[in-house]
Amino acid sequence: MEYRKLGPSGTIVSVHCLGAMTFGDEADEATSFRLMDDFFAAGGNFIDTADVYSAGVSEEIVGRWLKARPTEARQAVVATKGRFPMGSGPNDLGLSRRHLGEALDASLKRLGVERIDLYQMHAWDALTPIEETLRFLDDAVSAGKIAYYGFSNYVGWHIAKASEIAKARGYSRPVTLQPQYSLLVRDIELEIVDACLDAGLGLMPWSPLGGGWLSGKYKRDQMPSGATRLGENPNRGMEAYGPRNAEARTWNVIGAVEDVAKSHGVSMAQVALAWLAARPAVTSVILGARTPAQLADNLRAADLRLADEAMERLTAASAPTPPDYPYGIQGVAQRHRKLVGGR
């Protein structure tokens, strides 16, 4: 297992992070324990959950596992999130000092820990001043309740504004961003990746297999069925499958992944994960396995190094088509500058 720094911090995490969104829902407690056991046995040390996952049950399962596995618990780097509703009241959500204070204390209790290693804002809150959120997080670091904090689902200007305000006011700085990112979803490269590089944030991509598409489980013009997320939910299957199936780019990407997988003698999922782990600013790729077999296959990507030709083919096949302006040819040309006749 490869290890990397958690963004600009000094904490070291595995290149794969075990996502616990399925715990208490698609994976019962026994299966969740098995997934965590297998992940740590393979050298992983990073777990990501959230208070909203299974309405707190995911955090409780992780907490019981940490208590039952003291050796692993000493090595574990635990991340969770707050922001989304955990009740029906008007203050039971958001990034206000009031809600985050309650949410953080509840997460600490469910996880059974005195400090959370990485506390993430699950999404931007347009109603709460960012200064209020950042001051709360700085206070939480000073109080020893969290070691670091990060963001999730933020866009470029959110990242830039929050990072610069934290810097200007002398607050603890954010260390990570958790966005959706895969060979099928690369739009964060238009601006968000650059914002993270500028601010020094490490990326923790979620849905690295594009909801299972990059593992090869879905076929062209064939509605999903059987033991797949889309197959088990026909209504959601039709809604999610149709638009992606209709895009030529989807099948160009899947075809490239399949060819590279065959040439390397590995699974399609391993190829997609290895490509993502090699992208700029990526700290740790979140694996959202539902079964031990899925996790075992995904973990093999930790040691996979794709040939340069394979990386180039995947990158070219999956290149997003930017809008004409400001991210297309015209906008890039306007921002481009090069010294002529000198250094």
Nearest CA among 290, 291, 285 for reference residue 206 = 285
Give pLDDT, residue 335.
80
Residue 99 CA: distances (Å) to CA of 32, 87, 92, 121, 153: 28, 11, 6, 12, 19
Give pLDDT, residue 226.
58
Q: Report the range of poorest mean pLDDT among 49-58, 96-105, 150-159, 317-326.
A: 317-326
Beta-strand pair 12-14/146-152:
unpaired
**pTM over cut 0.85:** yes
Say if residue 242's pLDDT is above 80: no
Confidence grade of residue 143 (pLDDT, cut at 50, 70, 90)? very high
Which residues are the active-site residues?
Answer: 53
How many helices (H) and strands (E) would you count in the chain? 13, 10
**Mean pLDDT, the chain, as a whole number?**
93
Mean of pLDDT values over 248-276: 96
3-class DSSP state of 128:
coil
Paired strand residues for 335: none
Where exactly are the structural domains of the chain?
3-248+267-304
Mean of pLDDT values over 67-78: 98
What pLDDT digit, counting tens, does each position of 163-190 carry? 999 999 999 999 999 999 999 999 999 9
Mean of pLDDT values over 4-22: 98
Give pLDDT, residue 166.
98
Mean of pLDDT values over 301-320: 95
Contact 94, 103 (CB under 8 A): no
Say if residue 232's pLDDT is above 80: no
3-class DSSP state of 258:
helix
Mean of pLDDT values over 313-322: 93
Stated as kind and residue range, the H or E segment containing 78 is strand 77-82
Q: Report the range of poorest mean pLDDT among 244-248, 258-262, 288-292.
A: 244-248
**Gap between the Cα atoms of 183 and 153, Å rounded:** 17
Mean of pLDDT values over 132-142: 98
Long-range contacts of 125-128 (CB under 8 A, 24+ apart): 125/83, 125/94, 125/95, 125/96, 127/94, 127/96, 128/94, 128/95, 128/96
Say if residue 227's pLDDT is above 70: no
Give pLDDT, residue 322.
83
Nearest CA among 13, 17, 21 for reference residue 290 = 21
Mean of pLDDT values over 260-282: 97
Mean of pLDDT values over 106-122: 98
**Gap between the Cα atoms of 192 and 211, Å rounded:** 21
Query: Which is the CATH superfamily of the domain at 3-248+267-304?
Result: NADP-dependent oxidoreductase domain (3.20.20.100)
Confidence grade of residue 64 (pLDDT, cut at 50, 70, 90)? very high
**Is the C-alpha dihedral spanning 25, 26, 29, 33 positive or negative?**
negative
Give pLDDT, residue 218.
85
The more confidently predicted of residues 247 and 175 is: 175
